[in-house]
């Protein structure tokens, strides 16, 4: 693992922690610019997962033997790492899920079951489908109404419009902390304070935020926060839902099964305490242990240093791309993370993605699971280069040259 100061990262050293960065794609050196889709995994994460699977594989919580006790201790140690990483009050408020999507669905089902016809949920126009569809399904099931706060041409949330949407019937504001399509960093503390001044709880979709900005759930005073391990350099198929205890205690379980019960008879089942109440079935044990290693890695490199390095890349990339004639940036908010969304005149983003792939460059092209946002910007799709702290300016130069080549091909 690489030691780095909080001021300047030793990127070439850091890149050695991610062996995939030294590989090729289509015969060219890999340029991985699809970090918003999933982040790469450092060796320490893979080693932690491998150690568990090869030498410690066992089920958690129920065992009476050595291996099970060890797996349980490692699993719970990771929960503590997550608690500390987002500064939750207690471990019981950290629920392991299958990902951000699963966490939001849990809240939509469980907290949602406490709501009634006529109640309202507010989201924004820049939400990922996973923070739209679960609420639409809840609205259909129970007769609620979904309200959508608009975004401006730069891709910033209209806070005045958001405030006007809050009324006596509002039961939740569910908002993305950082947009995966635009990179916009929303003023989450302001939004939470605003909603709380009307006694409305807030759910943050932190899928894109968690690897880029420090999230302190107590300082934010947020009620729910969901993120995915795989966007924080950890394994896929795993996520975290933070919930404020007062709310989680009032909410019924979502999935029923093993591990979430206190006692079962055919007459009546009583439920376990938090967090087990929301963790039915055998969890993703290896994944949780890997996520713990990912958090250790991020803490070691330092989130502040990561953010500073990515900010520098973002500004360099924005400047370089903006100079390309016929390129329009989609997402030009004043406060952004390292996402470069763009379209080219007369060239479909899928063609851009396919041709860049021939150069060994991995970007994403499509609607990014934000179809309503694409409609808002009047485009069917965008090309998206998303950067992480292990990327370099020279990789951005390669991207720019490849885009110019695409334009020449289509000229």
Ligand X SMILES: Cc1ncc(COP(=O)(O)O)c(C=O)c1O
Residues that bind ligand X (CB under 6 A): 99-101, 128, 130-131, 176, 180, 205, 207-208, 228
Distance of CA 144 to the CA centre of its chain: 26
CA distance 250 to 270: 14
Q: Using N-to-C axis directions, what is the helix angle for 43-51 and 285-301, rounded to 10°?
A: 150
Query: For 140-236, where are the E strands, in sequence order?
Result: 145-149, 170-176, 202-205, 224-228
Query: For 266-358, where are the E strands, in sequence order?
Result: 269-271, 327-329, 339-344
Contact (CB, 8 A) for 45 and 297? yes
CA distance 49 to 381: 36
Task: Report the 10 Å Cβ neighbour count for 20.
Answer: 12
Instruction: State whether the Cα torsion 333-336-339-340 is positive or negative.
Output: positive
Catalytic entry in 369, 374, 379, 400: 369
Contact (CB, 8 A) for 175 and 191? yes
Pairing of β 202-205 and β 224-228: parallel
Look up residue 65 and give its two tokens: 């033997």
Known catalytic membership, residue 369? yes
**What is the per-residue DSSP string for 75-141?**
HHHHHHHHHHHHT-S-GGGEEEESSHHHHHHHHHHHTGGG--TT-EEEEETT--GGGTHHHHHHHHH
Find the length of the chain: 411
SS3 at position 384: strand
The residues assigned a catalytic role are 369
């Amino acid at each position: 693992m690489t030691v780095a100061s909080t001021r300047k990262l030793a990127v070439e050293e850091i890149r050695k922690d991610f062996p995939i960065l030294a590989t090729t794609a289509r015969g060219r050196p890999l340029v991985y610019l699809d970090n918003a889709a999933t982040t790469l995994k450092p060796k320490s994460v893979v080693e932690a997962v491998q150690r568990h699977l090869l030498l410690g594989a066992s089920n958690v919580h129920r065992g009476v033997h050595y291996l099970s006790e060890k797996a349980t201790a490692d699993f719970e140690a990771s929960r503590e790492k997550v608690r500390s990483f987002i500064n939750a009050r207690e471990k019981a408020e950290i629920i392991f899920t299958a990902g951000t999507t699963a966490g939001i669905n849990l809240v939509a089902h469980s907290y949602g079951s406490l709501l009634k016809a006529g109640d309202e949920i507010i989201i924004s126009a820049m939400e990922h489908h996973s923070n739209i569809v679960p609420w639409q399904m809840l609205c259909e099931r129970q007769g609620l109404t979904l309200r959508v706060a608009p975004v401006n041409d730069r891709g910033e949330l209209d806070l005045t419009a958001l405030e006007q949407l809050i009324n006596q019937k509002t039961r939740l504001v569910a908002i993305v902390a950082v947009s995966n399509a635009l990179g916009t960093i929303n003023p989450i503390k302001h939004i939470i304070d605003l909603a709380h001044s009307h006694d409305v709880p807030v759910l943050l979709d932190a899928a894109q935020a968690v690897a880029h900005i420090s999230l302190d759930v107590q300082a934010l005073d947020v009620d729910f926060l969901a993120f995915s391990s795989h966007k924080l350099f950890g394994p896929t198929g795993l996520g975290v839902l933070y919930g404020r205890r007062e709310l989680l205690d009032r909410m019924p379980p979502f999935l029923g099964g093993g591990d979430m019960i206190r006692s079962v008879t055919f007459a009546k089942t009583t439920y376990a305490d938090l967090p087990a109440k929301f963790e039915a079935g055998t969890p993703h044990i290896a994944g949780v242990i890997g996520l713990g290693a990912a958090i250790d890695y991020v803490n070691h490199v330092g989130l502040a240093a990561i953010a500073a390095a990515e900010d520098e890349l973002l500004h360099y990339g924005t400047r370089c791309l903006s100079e390309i004639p016929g390129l329009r940036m989609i997402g030009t908010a004043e406060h952004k993370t390292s996402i470069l969304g763009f379209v080219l005149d007369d060239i479909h983003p899928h063609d851009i993605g396919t041709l860049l792939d021939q150069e060994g460059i991995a970007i994403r092209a499509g609607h990014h699971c934000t179809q309503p946002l694409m409609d808002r910007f009047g485009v069917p799709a965008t090309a998206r280069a998303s950067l992480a702290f292990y990327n370099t300016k020279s990789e951005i130069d390669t991207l720019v040259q490849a885009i110019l080549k695409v334009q020449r091909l289509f000229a």
